[in-house]
Amino acid sequence: MAAKLTRKDIAKAAGVSPSTVSRALSGSKLIPEETVAMIREVAGRMGYRPNLLAKRLAVNRSFQIGFVLPLGLNRKGPLQMSYYSTILDGMVGAAFPRGFSVGIHPYDSESEGAASSLADIVTRRDADGLVILGLTQGSPIPGALLKASIPFVLIGSCHKKAHSVNCEQSPAIREMLRTVKELSYERLIYVKGAAQYYDAALQEGSLKEALKETPFKSFHEMDGDYSRTSGYKAAERLFSEGGLLRGKRLPKTCVFLACDRMAMGFYRFCQERGIRIPDEVGVVGSDRDDAAQGLHPELSTMRQPRLEMGRSAVDMLIDLCEGSDPEPKDMMIEERFLKRGSI
């Protein structure tokens, strides 16, 4: 392996000054083509690799994006939830061609302390900006970051003065309701998500709105918290003595759950009791979770545009870091309804 080469070595070999090398290699307009070609050739032949650390210091930018995600959502790490890893995938895909890389920064809580440690990521130039996931509603973090003028983009939450990317659920939910209705379901049960999340609120709002257009004879809500257990318990309540589905002459019922994990719990209960899906009850999930792939019959659900959300967030963030696009905006990307065998 060649010893560590710097611009100086190339300059000497090419018979020009270091700054000329620098300009040639970074495509400056000032240098004539032939000089550029010559220098390129020399650099290539010698195997010169510019030192990124030096460049970063010189321009005071890290060319990194901080991917900020909450710790402690489950026993395992957050990256094991496909929601996060898919968004990360989209981010990496968008960052790479723009010369950025993505670093991962878990955060503990949503305290003021957390806000300042997130701000530090940028202040210390570990990243040029942040993409922040999993914030609950009313979190102090966006405000604090704004005050510190840290560039950031939220995913799955929003703030009036900040950039954000969210999932537009209305059209898919409207389509889902129409489809369910056409299958002559008469009763709809909605198992809600954890109330502290913006996503959950968005979904509930979209559903209620869509119900005006496609009303059901009977509509009920049940609380849930996005966990498998809460889906299981919802089924338990529905099918237990005092529940909605007792009695002999049932109206045809469809259960819409705020996430696929809950649907998995719901399935589990049905499987244990021999309740047939969709013959005895229809089931619809919400976020096409990979973990639900193995369900049989296949779960009807929504395809969240997670890759696109990650990509858009990165694009917005880089624009933001580059000074353009200072108007805060909430970008909404549409999800799609996927009809499968569960209804």
Point out which residues bind DNA (CB under 7 A). Answer: 4, 6-8, 15-20, 22-23, 25-26, 30-32, 35, 49-51, 53-55, 57-60
Answer positive or negative: Cα dihedral of 118, 69, 101, 328: negative
Q: Which of 26, 218, 240, 293 binds its own copies (CB under 8 A)?
A: 293
In whole angstroms, the minimum distance from the beta carbon of 30 to DNA comes to 4
Q: What is the dihedral of CA 194, 335, 176, 240, to 10 degrees?
A: -20
Which three-class secondary structure state does DSSP give residue 331? strand
| Smaller CB separation from its own copies, 103 or 328 | 103
C-alpha 240, offset from chain centre: 37
Cβ proximity to its own copies, 240 vs 293, nearer residue: 293
Q: Judged by CB under 8 A, which of 9, 23, 42, 90 binds its own copies?
A: 90
| 254: its two tokens | 């469809």
Residue number with CB closer to DNA (7 or 261): 7
Residue pointed to by tokens 């995600």: 69
Closest alpha carbon to 249 in 165, 187, 180: 187
Cβ–Cβ under 8 Å, residues 163 and 312: no
Residue 120 near which of DNA, its own copies, none (CB within 5-8 Å, type-dependent): its own copies
Q: Which among 194, 340, 187 has a CA at the least distance from the CA of 258?
A: 194
Q: Confirm if 186 and 218 have CB atoms less than 8 A apart.
A: yes
- Which range binds its own copies by CB under 8 A, 70-78, 154-162, 194-202, 219-227? 70-78
CB-nearer residue toward DNA: 1 or 53 = 53
Q: Which does 143 bind (CB under 5 to 8 A by kind): its own copies, DNA, none?
A: none
- Which entry of DNA, its own copies, none binds 44, CB below 5 to 8 A by partner kind? none
Q: Tell me the CA distances in angstroms from 337 to 163, 175, 197, 301, one per residue in order.
A: 26, 7, 21, 6
Residues 120-139: x where in contact with its own copies by CB under 8 A, - otherwise, as a string? x--xxxx-------------
Nearer of residues 43 and 69 to DNA, judged by Cβ: 43
What is the radius of gyration, based on Cα positions, of the chain? 26
Contact 191, 224 (CB under 8 A): yes
Rounded to a whole number of angstroms, the distance between the first and last alpha carbons of the chain is: 63
Q: Say whether residue 89 binds its own copies (CB under 8 A).
A: yes
Question: Would you count residue 184 as binding its own copies (CB under 8 A)?
Answer: no
Rounded CA-CA distance 253/30 in Å is 72
Among 12, 45, 49, 276, binds its own copies (CB under 8 A): 49
3-class SS of residue 168: strand
Minimum distance of DNA from residue 129's CB (angstroms): 18
Q: Pick what 6 binds: its own copies, DNA, none; C-beta below 5 to 8 Å, kind-dependent.
A: DNA
Q: Please report how close the Cβ of residue 17 comes to DNA at its closest, in angstroms.
A: 3
Choices 152-160, 192-200, 262-270, 323-331; region in contact with its own copies by CB under 8 A:
262-270
The single residue listed with the structure tokens 């060649």 is: 2
Site residues, its own copies (CB under 8 A): 1, 49-54, 56-57, 60, 62, 64, 76-80, 82, 85-86, 88-90, 92-93, 96, 101-106, 120, 123-126, 147-149, 264, 267-268, 271, 290-296, 299, 307
